[in-house]
């Protein structure tokens, strides 16, 4: 159990101290991952980025990922029996949302290059793992040196999925409850992170790196 996202971020940062001094980029899943990402980025003296990617859900089960989309690329699962028109429509819809997020979070700069760098993907917890796996897929296409997934809490099924993914080099998870139900269960204080708070976090972090 964590008091709040700050406590979870502090504990994760301690676990990741071995990466301090390396060529690292911290990539937070918006919006809940940003408070943790901010702490980890400061601790490791690394840039903080926002994961501008989303999964494409199956038309009959949105939680089941059949691919992932970023602003510039797309990956699809093998042997998916889904109409191409659905995939194209979802890609357009998702990219409109991502464009909005890009304009919100990156007002004065472009995202950092990930090529040849260690990327630490951070969220405040995962349930199925599908959202973070979408990010892993797309980060992998940018040829990083390594991909680390860091989360405070997740079910064992999601941890297994991550550890077996060929692009994931390490998974750092503080708690793996046997009776996992929802991420919010493991925080005493778990408010939604507003767009305004998320934007402020990115702006402050950018100023500190200048």
Mean pLDDT of the region 134-149: 93
Closest by CA to 48, choosing from 14, 11, 75, 9, is 9
DSSP single-letter state for residue 32: T
Q: For residues 78 and 80, what is the distance between their CA atoms, to the nearest angstrom? A: 6
pLDDT on residue 105: 84
pLDDT on residue 61: 87
Q: Which domain holds residue 157?
A: 5-51+112-209
- From residue 71, give the alpha-carbon distance in Å to each of 38, 63, 75: 23, 21, 12
Q: Give the helix ranges, DSSP H, for 45-105.
A: 84-105
Question: Residue 68: inside a domain, yes or no?
Answer: no
pLDDT on residue 75: 83
CATH classification of the domain holding 195: 3.40.50.2020
User: How many structural domains is the chain composed of?
Assistant: 1
pLDDT on residue 197: 87
Question: Residue 150: inside a domain, yes or no?
Answer: yes
Is residue 79 very low, low, confident or very high in pLDDT (cuts 50, 70, 90)? confident
Mean pLDDT of the region 172-195: 94
Tell me which of 133 and 172 has the higher pLDDT. 172
Give me the chain's average pLDDT, please: 91
Is residue 207 very low, low, confident or very high in pLDDT (cuts 50, 70, 90)? low
Question: Residue 203: inside a domain, yes or no?
Answer: yes
């Amino acid at each position: 159990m964590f008091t709040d996202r700050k406590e979870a971020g502090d504990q994760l940062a301690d676990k990741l101290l071995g990466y301090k001094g390396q060529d690292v980029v911290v990539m937070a899943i918006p919006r809940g991952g940003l408070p943790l990402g901010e702490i980890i980025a400061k601790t490791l003296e690394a840039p903080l980025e926002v994961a501008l990617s989303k999964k494409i859900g199956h038309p009959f089960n949105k939680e089941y990922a059949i691919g992932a989309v970023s602003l510039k690329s797309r990956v699809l699962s093998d042997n998916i029996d889904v109409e191409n028109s659905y995939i194209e429509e979802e890609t357009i819809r998702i990219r409109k949302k991502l464009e909005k997020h890009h304009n919100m979070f990156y007002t004065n700069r472009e995202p950092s290059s990930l090529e040849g760098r260690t990327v630490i993907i951070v969220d405040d917890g995962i349930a199925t793992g599908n959202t973070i796996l979408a990010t892993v897929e797309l980060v992998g296409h940018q040829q990083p040196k390594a991909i680390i997934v860091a989360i405070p809490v997740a079910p064992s099924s999601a941890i297994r999925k991550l550890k077996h993914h060929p692009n994931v080099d390490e998974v750092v998870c503080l708690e793996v409850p046997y009776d996992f139900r929802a991420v919010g269960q493991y925080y005493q204080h778990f408010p939604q992170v507003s767009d305004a708070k998320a934007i402020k976090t990115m702006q402050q972090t950018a100023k500190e790196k200048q």
